[in-house]
Amino acid sequence: MLDLFTDDVRRNPFPLYAQLRERSPLLHEPRADLWLLFDYDSVKRALQDHEVFSSVVTTVTGRTPDWLLFSDPPRHTKLRGIIMRAFTPRSIANLEPHVRELSRGLLAPLVGRGEMDVVAEYSSQLPTTVIAEMIGIPVEDRARFLQWGDIIMKLSHTISEGEEAERARAENAAMRDEMRVYLSAILEERRREPRDDLLTRLVEAEVDGERLDEKEILGFFQLLLAAGTETTTDLIDNALLCFLEYPDQLERLRRQPELLGSAIEEVLRFRSPAQSMYRSTKREVELNGRVIPAGKFVLPMIGSANRDPGHFEEPERFDIGREPNPHLAFGHGIHFCLGAALSRMEARVALTDLLEALGDFQLASDTPWEPRQALHLHGPKRLPLRFEPRVLRS
């Protein structure tokens, strides 16, 4: 397998992306029979052209989960319509005061210490709590919820054979059994006593006049658990990494807090939480003068596309005022991330509070940060910081 997936490269894949984009924007990895796309135009096409690129993918180790993310029209259209009801602009706006309350509650006991692991104590906790509340998971089950999310993310290791892939599959199979039993009981509760949460909506939802079965609801549950937490966690952490690397931009943001929205967009471009997505060719397709045969596993490399100099001026420069910024961090087309508005709102709340609570901050360890367990994600597994404590305004 390409050395794109070593820890050193995953911490900083961008120089290698630049080399490959220049020399071989379409690369075939023969051992896994994997086709990788590195340039912006090819990646964008693979993400949006569902007539040629299917989201139903089979790798050497089996088919991707039966989730909305890995489905094609017309079924994708119907399933997406169900979940969209929970992610309307109005519903996200109504959530913001509560998200701010949760954020302040998490930070309050941490700030006075002058040191914390941002991932373990804050950035993973905030989006997990938000999505768990939206779904309707009891407070006492949140720790298990977080553990399930970690196991789901390890599935990315199954794109190739090997010990890591076998372990990921075994852990996922055991988790699915545990989750199935758990979900069956909680769904029965919702049928008896409906609530204002996502699980109740899934229980009551219909596609073509038929209710979703438990397997379909389990797929939604797993997707929300994974996609509803990881992107936001990495977005928050990657923003802090960017500010550590570019202190001039942090000072600029402190002087001009109105730039927070565009700063978040630049983090999404510069350190995209999802570095790649899965696709499969429905038919033969020509890109960059080469032909990908039908039925091949394709990885559109979003992290590379977002630094393509053909679409971004000085793409290796982190600029919180960048405009325009047509990044592909949340995908493109019919599979554009449903939770993008929620993730942006959570990041806006989190970074507002973090930059208010943390004065001068720095890494608390000289050890290179360990990448997240999922191969397609970019962000630290832990992020220990030392900082000058500040008082959060009430």
How far is the C-alpha of 223 from the C-alpha of 55, rounded, in Å? 14
Its domain, for residue 43, covers 3-389
Q: Evaluate the omega torsion of the peptide bond into residue 315 and state whether it is cis, within 30 degrees of 0.
A: no
Q: Residue 110 domain-assigned?
A: yes
Residue 104 is assigned to a structural domain of this protein: yes
| Residue at 394 is within a domain | no
In angstroms, the CA 222 to CA 151 distance is 10
Closest by CA to 273, choosing from 374, 348, 367, 342, is: 374
Tokens of 253: 């943001």
The confidence band for 228, taking pLDDT boundaries of 50, 70 and 90, is confident
CA 307, CA 315: separation in Å to the nearest integer? 5
Q: Which phi and psi angles does 377 have, rounded to 5°?
A: -100, 150
Both tokens of residue 374?
A: 């999922």
User: Region 317-326: what's the mean pLDDT?
Assistant: 98
CA 394 to chain centre: 31
In a domain, 272, yes or no: yes
Q: Which residues contact 357 (CB under 8 A, 6 or more apart)?
A: 107, 111, 389, 390, 391, 392
pTM assigned to the model: 0.93
Of 67-81, 151-165, 369-383, minimum mean pLDDT range? 151-165
Of 58 and 313, which is predicted with more confidence? 313
CB atoms within 10 A of CB 131: 23
> For position 221, what pLDDT does the model report?
83
Q: For residues 214 and 9, which has the higher predicted lDDT (pLDDT)?
A: 9
Count helices and strands in the chain by DSSP H and E runs:
15, 14
Q: How confident is the model at residue 83 (pLDDT cuts 50, 70, 90)?
A: confident
Q: What is the DSSP letter of 371?
A: B
Task: Tell whether 45 is covered by a domain.
Answer: yes
Please report the beta strands in 107-159, taking only residues with DSSP state E, as ranges in sequence order: 115-117
Q: 3-class DSSP state for residue 360?
A: strand
Q: Taking the CA atoms of the chain, what radius of gyration do you get in angstroms?
A: 21
Residue 2 has pLDDT above 70, yes or no: no
Q: What angle do CA 101, 274, 367 make, to 5 degrees?
A: 80
CATH number, domain with residue 271: 1.10.630.10
* Mean predicted lDDT score pLDDT of the chain: 90
Residue 54: inside a domain: yes
Give the total number of structural domains in the chain.
1
274 has a pLDDT exceeding 90: yes
Helix/strand/coil for 101: helix
Is 149 part of any domain?
yes
Q: Is residue 375 domain-resident?
A: yes
Dihedrals phi, psi of 351, to nearest 5 degrees: -70, -35
